[in-house]
Structure 1
Amino acid sequence: MKVVVFGGSGLIGDGFLQESLRAEDVTEVVAVARTPLSRSHPKLRQVLHSDFFDFTAITEELSGADACFWGLGVSSVGLSPQDYERITYDYTKAAADTLAVLNPALTFVYVSGGGTDSTEHGRSHWARVKGRTENAVIAIFPNGYALRPGFVQPSHGRRSKTPGYRWGNALAAPIAPMLRLLRLSPVLMTSTAQLGKVALHLARHGYSRHALENRDIVTVATLAGKHG
């Protein structure tokens, strides 16, 4: 299986990369990025690309892909609505359109977030834009999925580059055992490793739902563990 990963320098994208590189049935991982990743692996091929509105220049590198895991994203805090929509929706849609021409049966896994508004009519701008992006991916690909994690804990020894996320992880670490005791962690928490395992499971086996809430993500991660 050939996997394309966007956002590999970020926390969630790194989870996709790590789990894909470890998977025995993944023969090649193509990481598309603007700058080189500080990582090397026999199965990893880095493709540097600057124009995220147009991916025609790298169609040869994307050709033959069986799955695309989209971990590229930004916080809406401090961004204009136009910039947030450009990065969140326009980039994703441009990549999805290109990949759909190359392989309409490709599995596209888009990482969204809890609280996303799939109606596209709610009051929150970021939730509407995320919802619009989810809807586009699922409309383009019969095997399109949106993951809506709650709080994402880093795996594989990684730390987020975003200060807010680092502080959040530091604050959440002491209460994580309590959430598990109260059986709230499947509703509220997941990890980058689980997201990677879930994306691979969706590429191999699919799932009955196309938009997966945090509880679904934890359920599928458990299934992925059983299937290996």
Structure 2
Amino acid sequence: MKAAILGASGLVGQELVDQLLAHEDYQEVHVLVRRPMNRFHPKLEEWVIDFDRVTEIELPEVDHVYCALGTTIKQAGSQEAFRQVDYTYPIEVGRELMDLGATRFALISALGAHPNAKTFYNRVKGDTENGLRVLGYDALLIFRPSLLLGERDEFRFGEQAAARVSTVLRPLLKRSTFAPIEAEKVAQAMIHHTLHAPPGVTVIESKEMQT
């Protein structure tokens, strides 16, 4: 099969690239990125694209789509720009890839995502989930991880502070929905559930991903 990854340069995205390249079920891995990753592998193909023009440019024909796109309001510069990355891009790219033949879409959302959530972040994530539901993929997998653990390329003070606290409290949080989770485990769960997905929409919460 062939897979596409959105957000391949991020924390979970990098894990997805590594694991999909090593997976025997995937013969081609296409990464859709803004800037070259300069990675080389016989199964890997980079597509450097303008996400604001996805309806006008060539995209790969794939079977499964893995979406790890995400940013912060600080990085994006505004709530509007944040929504563009976390909502508009997944919906538009998802629609285009489905028209080209993709049948399964795996999305990293967030714990507490809901269109009526109190926080702007979780409202956008909830809107994205709903936007993808109506596209009509044979199988839509929604993953809602808790705090992600791993080495990021960029520094995020809030996440670093929360990670330190979570590390201290991890024995107490071990069986909790809010227990922090390694990016590696999230990627493993995404691949496993996507390969074995039933028809329709499946929501996988962080606690389930731990196992």
Q: What is the TM-score when the length of structure 2 is the normalising length?
A: 0.87
Aligned counterpart, 1:211: 203
In structure 1, the partner of 2:2 is: 2
Q: Do the aligned residues in 1 keep the contact of 2:63 with 2:104 (CA within 8 Å)?
A: yes
Letter in 2 for 1:76: I
**2:51 and 2:89 in contact (8 A); partners too:** no
User: How far apart, in 2, do the equivalents of 1:77 and 1:35 lie?
Assistant: 20
Whether the 8 Å CA contact 1:16–1:192 is kept in 2: the answer is: no
Give 1:125-204 correspondences, 5 Å limit. 125-140=120-135, 141-154=137-150, 158-164=151-157, 167-168=160-161, 171-172=164-165, 174-175=167-168, 179-180=170-171, 183-184=174-175, 187-204=178-195
Q: CA separation of 1:86/1:209 partners in 2, compared to 1, >3 Å: closer, same or farther?
A: closer
Distance 2:111 2:118 in 1: 15
Query: Offset at 1:169?
Result: 7.2
Q: 2:69 aligned to 58, 67, 72, which one?
A: 72
Distance in 1 separating the partners of 2:167 and 2:79: 35
- Structure 2: distance between partners of 1:52 and 1:184: 41
> Against the structure 1 CA distance between its residues 121 and 53, is the aligned structure 2 distance closer, same or farther, given a 3 Å change threshold?
farther
Change (3 A) 1:170 1:46: same
Tell me the residue number matched to 1:226: none
CA deviation map 1:2-38 (0-9, x unaligned): 1101111111111111111111111111011111114
Give the equivalent residue in structure 1 for 2:52.
52
Residue 6 of structure 2 contacts residue 33 of structure 2 at CA under 8 Å; is this kept in 1?
yes
Determine what percentage of the aligned residue pairs are the same residue: 23
Pair 1:92 & 2:90 matched: yes
Q: Distance in 2 between matches of 1:110 and 1:134?
A: 8
CA deviations 1:177-213 (Å, max 9, x no partner) are: x524663366422211112111211221015862221
Give the Cα–Cα distance (whole angstroms) in 2 for the partners of residues 166 and 37 of structure 1. 24
Mapped contact 2:166–2:179 kept (Cα < 8 A): no
In 2, distance between residues paired with 1:171 and 1:205? 35
Contact 2:10 2:152 in 1 (8 A): no
Task: Call closer, same or farther: CA 1:212–1:17 in 2, change over 3 Å.
Answer: same
Unmatched segments (≥5 aa) in structure 1: 220-228
- Superposition map of 1:16-31 within 5 A: 16-31=16-31
Larger mean CA deviation between 84-93 and 72-81 belongs to 72-81
C-alpha distance in structure 2 between counterparts of 1:187 and 1:174, whole Å: 12
Asked whether 1:43 is paired with 2:43, we answer yes
CA contact (8 A) 2:8 2:14 kept: yes
In structure 2, what is the equivalent of residue 121 of structure 1?
Answer: 116
For these two proteins, the number of residue pairs brought into alignment is 208
CA shift in 2, pair 1:132/1:49, >3 Å: same
Q: Is the Cα–Cα contact under 8 Å of residues 52 and 95 in structure 1 kept in the other structure?
A: no
CA separation in 2, counterparts of 1:111 and 1:97?
A: 17
Tell me which protein shows more helix as a share of its residues: 1
Question: 1:10·1:161 contact (CA, 8 Å) conserved in 2?
Answer: no
